Amino acid sequence: MSTDTVIATPRIVVDHVSKWFNKRTTRSMKDALINGVRRKPVRSRQFQALNDVSFTIAEGESVAVMGLNGSGKSTTLKLVSGVLEPDEGRVLTRGRVAGLIEVGAGFHPDLTGRENVFLNAAILGMSEKETKERFDEIVAFSEIGDFIEQEVKHYSSGMFMRLAFSVAIHVELDVLLVDEVLAVGDAPFRAKCNAKLKELSARGVTMMVVSHSKGQVKELCSRGIVIKKGNVVFDGPIDDALKVLEG
């Protein structure tokens, strides 16, 4: 008698990815100005942010990507979101991806909150009809009230986050990428966001979360990937990942 093995369908595939950035050696604006006057070229050297990183995240999984500052975790998230491209290897995603990568990313400062809702929703793949149908829900969740009619250049970072998060979670999405954005805002709103993320996870949305909050990743994620100096040093159960991170 044979037993069929169920293989989870991948939503995210990071396949032998490496990424470099140019790092300027000029130490200050003064040095740069002097070099410019002397027509001396600004020297730069390459910094490897990621080194041969590979992992797969299956449909419905919630995975935390963790590491110290400068480890390469946010670079990984930006590669998955399509904001950056790998220098080596490939990144594949399946389905509609929404990314909360940076507070206010994709917002035009001279447009109102209302106009930016439609702009961001369109970027995330929503039709104008879908956005109109969900507009009131988006604004209500964001809790920014009448500021929705103000230009977003007058928004605080917390208001940016509330509106950006609210737009992203009201999209019919398959994959949600979150990078420390929930560190902004007051405690009640953070709790509200975490509750919404749990709801999305329960609905089968795949999540990739970058966070320094141990409590948050334990609540949301069953698996953790630890990156150190651009290398994956652990990929496994979240409790074990947190021990590796602390060690």
| Torsion sign over Cα 136, 138, 140, 145 | negative
Number of domains in the chain: 1
* Residue 2 within a domain: no
Q: How far is 204 from 174, CA to CA, in rounded Å?
A: 8
pLDDT tier for residue 2 given thresholds of 50, 70 and 90: very low
Q: Please, what is the end-to-end C-alpha distance for the chain in angstroms?
A: 46
CA distances (Å), origin 59, targets 174, 197, 226: 8, 15, 20
The predicted model gives 62-71 an average pLDDT of 92
Looking at residue 153, what DSSP letter applies?
G
Mean pLDDT of 231-240: 97
**Which tokens is 122 given?**
């369109």
The pTM for the full model equals 0.82
In a domain, 87, yes or no: yes
Query: Do the Cβ atoms of 108 and 128 come closer than 8 Å?
Result: no
Reported confidence tier of residue 139, pLDDT bands at 50, 70, 90: very high
Question: Over the stretch 146-159, which tens digit does the pLDDT of each residue have?
Answer: 999 999 999 987 88
The per-residue pLDDT for range 8-48, each reduced to its tens digit, is 799 999 999 999 998 765 555 566 566 666 665 555 678 99
In a domain, 193, yes or no: yes
User: How many whole angstroms from its chain centre is CA 168?
Assistant: 11
What domain range includes position 51? 10-246
- Is pLDDT above 50 for 56? yes
Residue 108 in domain: yes
Residue 207 within a domain: yes
Amino acid at position 122, single letter: A
Q: What CATH code is carried by the domain that includes residue 232?
A: 3.40.50.300
Is pLDDT above 90 for 143? Answer: yes
Whether residue 73 is contained in a domain is answered as yes
If you average pLDDT over residues 127-131, what whole number do you get? Answer: 94
The answer as to whether 94 is a domain residue is: yes
Nearest to 138 by CA among 111, 110, 119: 119
Mean pLDDT of the chain: 86
Q: Is residue 54 part of a domain?
A: yes
- Stretch 76-89: mean pLDDT, rounded? 94
pLDDT tens-digit readout, 182-228? 665 678 888 888 889 899 999 999 999 998 788 889 989 999 999 99
